[in-house]
Structure 1
Amino acid sequence: MELNSRVVAAEGVVHGWLVRHSIRLLRISLGAVFLGFGFLKYFPGVSPAQDLTVTTTRLLTFGLIPDHLGLVLVATLECVIGLVLIAGRGLRGIVYLLTLELAGILSPVVLLPGRLFSGPYHAPTLEGQYVLKDVILVAAAMVVATGFRGARISLPEPGPVSDRG
């Protein structure tokens, strides 16, 4: 067997593994991120996003929820989302909570743009970068959300291998 054939065969093995496991691993890693960052919020002064979370929650709730309670509620929401994503059970319900959470996570872009983009030439601050990286969480959540209705990655029909990107 020539080298090219071996490479193509190895790619096929790796691709098959990715098709079978990548969405599950994405779901579990997304859950671990939510669980980890949510857990930190239970301990005052530990989460780097604590002040931003408190300020955003205060704005979104019109100050009706006390800051400490709002932080605990966000922490609990994030931990529940994380645990459900890791367990892989109850995904239908968690997709709706995840949508609510992601709207809250990204809302500082609209509610606090001066705080997020006050670097030189309106470059993102560290908090701004923290919020902007959450776009990746949104994309990951979108992929995971397709799974509760049965969407799956599938292997293509056998045929010539192309180098499409």
Structure 2
Amino acid sequence: MSSTTIGTGHVSTAAGYNSILDRANSAQAVVQRFLASAGVPALRVSLGLVFLVFGALKFFPGLSPVEALVSRTWNVLSFGIVDGYAALALTATLEVFVGVALVTGLLLRIGLLALAVTFVGVFSPLVFFAGELFAAAGPTLTAQYILKDVVLVAAAMVIAAKAFTRPIR
């Protein structure tokens, strides 16, 4: 075993250093196990709360900052059949369902499928209204509002990967 005299006159050994590293690794393993077990459920519930709250806002005219955009997007996607409050109510219902499924874990696979459909609607304005959403100076505030949903897609992918590890019954 090697030893080294340090500035205080005490002798430090490699074994003492290794002991500290072993304790640090043990502590890290405990933290890692906690994060592995709690991380995905926390992500699922927090994503669910986002959809639950933002969906609920759409039930009440004047509360959602994207009302006009939702209505216009549905109008384009439905070839003019769905518009106005009907578009908001459909979006609100879909988002609230997704939120409840994610928060409770009930009907999770169906909720994740509904979430995938929701993301089509969320990103559609970037295609349909690109001229309005991107100015010479860059993306407008509305475009930024939409683009940040890329993070929500990544979160949904992690949740789906975990949910799909269980067999379908």
User: 1:124 maps to what in 2?
Assistant: 139
Query: Cα RMSD over matched residues?
Result: 1.5
CA contact (8 A) 1:38 1:78 kept: yes
CA contact (8 A) 1:30 1:85 kept: yes
TM-score between both structures, scaled by the size of structure 2: 0.82
Distance 1:107 1:15 in 2: 38
Distance 1:130 1:119 in 2: 18
Cα separation, partners in 2 of 1:119 and 1:75, compared to 1, 3 Å = farther
- Which structure is richer in relative contact order (CA contacts within 8 A, separation 6 or more)? 1
Per the alignment, in what secondary structure is the counterpart of residue 107 of structure 1? helix
1:37 corresponds to 2:54: yes
Distance 1:56 1:65 in 2: 9
Identity within the alignment, % = 42
1:26 corresponds to 2:80: no
Counterpart of 1:66 (choices 83, 98, 107) is 83
Whichever residue aligns with residue 47 of structure 1, its letter is S
Per the alignment, in what secondary structure is the counterpart of residue 43 of structure 1? coil
Distance 2:58 2:83 in 1: 15
Counterpart of 1:102 (choices 87, 106, 119) is 119
Deviation at 1:119, TM superposition (A): 4.9
- How many residues in Structure 1 have an aligned counterpart in Structure 2? 149
CA contact (8 A) 1:32 1:86 kept: yes
Whichever residue aligns with residue 22 of structure 2, its letter is S
Point out the structure with the larger strand share. Answer: 2
C-alpha offsets along residues 11-57 of structure 1, whole Å, 9 cap, x if unaligned? 11110001111111111111001001001111111111212111111
User: 1:5 maps to what in 2?
Assistant: 22
Q: Which runs of 5+ in 2 are unaligned?
A: 1-15
| Larger-Rg structure | 2
1:115 corresponds to 2:132: yes
Counterpart of 2:101 (choices 84, 90, 96) is 84
